[in-house]
Amino acid sequence: MLNILSELREQLGDDAVLDRATVAARARNYWDPAPLEARALVRPRSTQELSRVMKICHARDQSVVVHGGLTGVCDADRSTDQDVVVSLESMTAIEEIDAVGRTVTVQAGCRLQNLQQAAEQQGLYFPLDLGARGSCTVGGNVATNAGGTNVIRFGMMRSLVLGLEAVLPDGTVISSMNRMLKNNSGYDLKQLFVGSEGTLGIVTRMVLTLKERSQSVNTVLVAVDTGEKLPPLLKEMDRRLGGTMSSFEAMWGHYYRAVTAPGWHTSPLDRRHAFYVIVEAQGPDPVDDARRFQTAIEAVLEAKLITDAVLPKSVAERERIWAIREDFEALRQHTPLFLYDISLPIRDMLAYAEEVRMSLQKQWPHSQFFALGHIGDGNLHFFVTPGIAATDVATLHAMSDELVYRPLARLGGAVSAEHGIGLEKKAWLAVSRSPAEIELMRTLKRTLDPKNILNPGKVIDGWANSSA
Amino acid sequence: MLNILSELREQLGDDAVLDRATVAARARNYWDPAPLEARALVRPRSTQELSRVMKICHARDQSVVVHGGLTGVCDADRSTDQDVVVSLESMTAIEEIDAVGRTVTVQAGCRLQNLQQAAEQQGLYFPLDLGARGSCTVGGNVATNAGGTNVIRFGMMRSLVLGLEAVLPDGTVISSMNRMLKNNSGYDLKQLFVGSEGTLGIVTRMVLTLKERSQSVNTVLVAVDTGEKLPPLLKEMDRRLGGTMSSFEAMWGHYYRAVTAPGWHTSPLDRRHAFYVIVEAQGPDPVDDARRFQTAIEAVLEAKLITDAVLPKSVAERERIWAIREDFEALRQHTPLFLYDISLPIRDMLAYAEEVRMSLQKQWPHSQFFALGHIGDGNLHFFVTPGIAATDVATLHAMSDELVYRPLARLGGAVSAEHGIGLEKKAWLAVSRSPAEIELMRTLKRTLDPKNILNPGKVIDGWANSSA
């Protein structure tokens, strides 16, 4: 019997299969420069090639880890030197844009930004957007059900996927390349592969929905003096902007001050406010939309929901405002720094954030807590730094996790809003999901991947120990 | 051992369990007045009661058929005298409206219209809407992934469900009552139960997302002289109305003339046009929105995309326009009358409709074909009447199905856009789905319902003959 490297090369050609040494020249992922470990890295050029790869791996009980753009933050892309890595990097084509049906057919390895630009060239718009747009792939966006800054209007990646093609662990190709907004012809199988982080199948191609491109973008940065005003502000802006509000991004004062400290971003507003919010709307008519946006801001100022506001007067000014939200390089001076991504009902958000801040403070008097979030989605991100010399980072991280995640159980919150579970949050899944739910997840995993070869150990644990 | 009626009564009380004779006083469903057949009808008052019911049925290998509002058109509610019917009619509560998070927690038996009204009383809006709103239940809307007239803006029921609770065939309760727009904590199990027509579990409660209530509704009925103008009209209206267009409902001239014939609806436009479209937008500002809507209509008139237009001047006039679209009582004089609900890429829609009309005409020279549809969703509905004396309706229906469904395979179309598969379309599922997809559906069914007791024989066939 050939070794697996030889067998894969025989099937796909030498170019498509990198050996252990070549693989080691790559970084593990976007965040971790350590050498990538894998028995081999395969880059299939088509669904059919991937199907052959999976048949080989399945026959050999060979574990497989899937790589997209490697920008995920929960270690779902982590491999060992015993794994075969499947990278979608040779499947990057935008196969077709249907301007009438407003759909795009695209391969999984295409970068999000390339897709956004291709849509724009046709006068159309792909609404998923997130900071990693230049590196992340649409296949990764599907596998993690990516969110980002436009979810309040356009939904998460799941709601933008009309159809997809996936390869199961045994090499079976499930092609559900639906192109219609409505299709109730049997079970909606694509849902199995969206957000399951490559544990049930490998997505290779997809049909995504496109929207008409907006004719105007209006943005404002506002200051808010108490957290109680955030929900009514959200509601009032949404009501006044009708269907056009696309972002409502809140920043806690601590976060804002840290990223606008001298030497970092320039603050266009006084830096001493309790909260800051970026509101953005995309509409059909530059003149009307600007006037409506202005009127809405005046109304919330008059109603004392906000205390100050600044409207960017150029694209560059708009970008500088967004940079405050998206670029938190300034926080990296604090080490260790733990990033969180949780969600909970909006009405509980402020009290929760305060509870976490207080308990961190109690644990570590010099700890700092920097919060921001997609408030309208119930989604908070925050950074925690314990503020003590890091002798044992893993232990500190686990203690921080405990303080952050534990209160979510009582509130019906989620330990992952948009980043996924991967390896990093697996231990905390039970905070958000019941034993019956986790058992049903395991049942699905066992059914689709009875040999547990696809991204094994990601998302759910204890698979091997609980076979039915 | 007690008989099942006694055992169910012992568990739930006499009120909650109707016997065979009492059941027979009910109609089969909204469309079929024949007596309902069932061994018993159970109406649990809670998820826990339903769990006990399913445990009993599971232990006895007792088949169960689920009843919501009984307005489905594909026979997914069909029972025999050997089945136990579970009706959600005692679970109708709207448990909570969270005005801050803009969610509603509701039991499955609640009627859609009651939910719409409850939201409205809080200044909020539940966007799913369809003709059966007064009879259908939100549980049925989830089970069939209902669509309707607002999908182009707000999506189908699937995209409005944040969380749900379901009882599996063995009585296990899966409670995934998430209330956030973003939650990627493990597999999104609720997707299994949305659109699977009660074959994988019985949905008992759910959390749905609410929107801000609009301040304006603008409606227009326009006439279009060739089908080629429909896609650019859709695109132009959508572009000009920004995020506010909620409906784009086309009617073919044959349909329009039939329902506005003397004695039926009054036509506000000349009746000889090739196509008619209702466009509706919901926005935040009565004055601005009306002006923008008017400007958009003038622009498409000037561009000759439409040949005539009428704007309703009152709520009553608006309702009369919608009645032309929603009330097709006039068609019932044609018997037999077969209703279709298909979807396909928008660019292929006109040619497809013409192909079907021609092949029906060739088969039955006096046949008639009345089409209308949610064009923007790729969804066509049409009525076919063969125009010959109905000696054997089933054979005529099958012949009609053949002419309607067969061309969809080539076009990547769907035999069900929004009605589901049920029993009626099961034979045609393979037109829209591949053998691998259907096998995966069977795998899911076998995994969740190994005894095949829940809505057996609905959606997918051959379950018993293909066990792994």
Please report the ipTM that was assigned to this predicted complex. 0.96
pLDDT at B243: 85
Report whether B87 contacts B43 (CB < 8 A): yes
Whether A81 and chain B come into contact, CB under 8 Å, resolves to no
Task: For residues B223 and B309, give the distance between their C-alpha atoms in angstroms, rounded to a whole number.
Answer: 6
Q: Which distant-in-sequence residues (6+ apart) come within 8 Å of A351 by Cβ?
A: none
Searching chain B, which residue's CA lies closest to the CA of residue A380?
B182
pLDDT band at A467 (very low <50, low <70, confident <90, very high): very low
Q: Which residues on chain B are in Cβ contact (under 8 Å) with A130?
A: none
User: How confident is the model over B5-19, as pLDDT tens digits?
Assistant: 999 999 999 999 999
CA distance B145 to B157: 5
* Nearest residue in chain B measured CA to CA from A172: B436
Return the minimum-mean-pLDDT range out of A101-110, A249-258, A458-467, B114-123: A458-467
| Among B residues 406-425, those touching chain A with beta carbons less than 8 Å apart | 412-421, 425
Count of CB atoms situated within 10 Å of the CB of B262: 5
State mean pLDDT over B167-179: 98
Amino acid code (one letter) for B419: H
Is A376 in the B-facing interface, judged by CB distances under 8 Å?
Answer: yes
Kindly tell me if the per-residue pLDDT of A72 is higher than 80. Answer: yes
Structure tokens at B415: 């035999």
pTM above 0.80, yes or no: yes
**What residue of B is the nearest CA neighbor of A429?**
B185
Q: What is the CA radius of gyration of chain A?
A: 23
How far apart CA B157 and CA B165 sit, in angstroms, is 15
* Residue-wise pLDDT tens digits, A358-402: 999 999 999 999 999 998 899 999 999 999 987 899 999 999 999
Residue type, B16: A
| Per-residue model confidence (pLDDT) at position A24 | 97
Structure tokens at B29: 């469903």
- Which of helix, strand or coil describes residue B374? strand
Q: Quick check: B432 contacting A, CB < 8 Å?
A: yes
pLDDT mean across residues, chain A: 95
User: Are residues B100 and A345, on separate chains, in Cβ contact within 8 Å?
Assistant: yes
Which residue does chain A place closest to B159, by CA atoms? A159
Show Cβ contacts of residue B128 under 8 Å, excluding neighbours closer than 6 positions.
B112, B141, B146, B148, B150, B154, B156, B157, B160
For residue B463, what pLDDT is reported? 57
Q: What's the whole-number mean pLDDT along residues A169-173?
A: 98
Instruction: Judge whether B206 and B142 are in contact, CB under 8 Å.
Output: yes
Residues B219-246 pLDDT 10s:
999 999 999 999 999 999 999 998 899 9
Other residues' Cβ atoms within 10 Å of the Cβ of residue B340: 21
Residue pair A387/A336 in contact by the 8 Å Cβ criterion = no
Given pLDDT bands bounded at 50, 70 and 90, which one contains residue A466? Answer: very low
CB < 8 Å to A145, chain B: 184, 188
User: Is the Cβ pair A185, B415 closer than 8 Å?
Assistant: yes
Section B26-31 average pLDDT: 95
- In chain B, what are the helix, strand and coil shares in percent, each to the nearest 5? 40, 20, 40
Among A100, A144, A158, A183, the strongest candidate for a mutation testing the B interface, having the largest count of B CBs within 10 A, is A183
Question: Mutate which of B74, B165, B183, B236 to test chain A, going by most A C-beta atoms within 10 A?
Answer: B183
Minimal-distance CA residue of chain B relative to A103? B345
- Degrees (nearest 5) of the Cα angle B268, B269, B271? 120
Q: Are A260 and A266 in contact (CB under 8 A)?
A: yes
Which of A51, A184, A212, A295 is best to mutate for the B interface (most B CBs within 10 A)?
A184
| Residues of A (154-173) whose Cβ lies below 8 Å from B | 155-156, 158-159, 168, 172-173
Q: What is the pLDDT of residues B68-105, one digit of tens each?
A: 999 999 999 999 999 999 999 999 999 999 999 999 99
- The pLDDT value recorded for residue B242 is 87
* CA-based nearest distance A129→chain B, Å: 15
What token pair was written down for A387? 């503020």
Is a pLDDT exceeding 60 seen at residue A464? no
* C-alpha span between B44 and B9 (Å, rounded): 11
Closest CA to A401 of A384, A422, A380, A420: A384
Q: What is the pLDDT of residue B461?
A: 81
Question: Which residues in chain A are closer than 8 Å to B292, comparing Cβ atoms?
Answer: 284-285, 288
A195 part of contact set with chain B, CB < 8 Å: yes
Q: What is the DSSP letter of B221?
A: E
Closest CA to B36 of B73, B78, B91: B78
Phi, psi of A145 (to 5 degrees): 45, 65
Rg for chain B, CA atoms, rounded: 23
A416: which 2 tokens? 């992952």
Token representation of residue B38: 């069932």
Residue-level length of chain B: 468
Nearest-angstrom CA–CA distance, B468 and B449: 14
Give how far A14 is from chain B: nearest CA, Å.
30
- Residue A355: burial class (beta carbons within 10 Å; 0-12, 13-18, 19+): middle
Residue range A281-296: mean pLDDT, rounded: 94
Query: How many CB atoms neighbour CB A209 within 10 A?
Result: 22
Q: Which structure tokens are listed for A198?
A: 């490559």
pLDDT value at residue B462: 61
Scanning B226-285, the segments in alpha helix (DSSP H) are: 230-241, 253-259
Rounded-to-5 percentages of helix, strand, coil across chain A: 40, 20, 40
- Please identify among residues 306-345 of chain B the ones whose CB lies closer than 8 Å to any CB of chain A: 343-345
Contact flag B194-A188 (C-beta cutoff 8 Å): yes
Q: How far apart are CA A149 and CA A116, in angstroms?
A: 14
Average pLDDT over residues A170-182: 97
Chain B: closest CA distance from residue A22 (Å): 33
pLDDT computed for residue B207 by the predictor? 98
| CB-count burial class (<10 Å; 0-12, 13-18, 19+) for A113 | middle
The verdict on a CB contact (< 8 Å) between A432 and B144 is: no
Q: Rounded to an integer, what distance in angstroms lies between the CA atom of residue B372 and that of residue B356?
A: 14
> Residue B208 has what DSSP assignment?
E
**Chain B residues 197-226 with a CB less than 8 Å from chain A:** 200, 212-215
Between CA B339 and CA A86 the distance in angstroms is 47
pLDDT tens sequence across B418-447? 999 999 999 999 999 999 999 999 999 999
Least CB–CB distance from B414: residue in A145, A178, A415? A178
Nearest CA in chain B to A191: B191
Considering only CB atoms, which chain A residues are within 8 Å of B443?
Answer: 447-448
Q: pLDDT of B31-57, one tens digit each?
A: 999 999 999 999 999 999 999 999 999
Helices then strands, each counted (H, E), chain B: 15, 18
Q: In angstroms, what CA-CA distances link B310 with A91, A250, B304, B439?
A: 50, 44, 15, 50
- Cβ-based contacts under 8 A for chains A and B: 289
N-terminal to C-terminal alpha carbon distance within chain B: 33
Averaged pLDDT for residues B207-226: 96
3 state SS of B126: coil
Q: Which residue has the tokens 């919150």?
A: A413
pLDDT 10s digits, B312-322: 999 999 999 99
Please give the Cα distance from A238 to A293 (Å, whole number): 11
Closest CA to B223 of B299, B317, B320, B308: B308
B95 touches A at CB < 8 Å: no
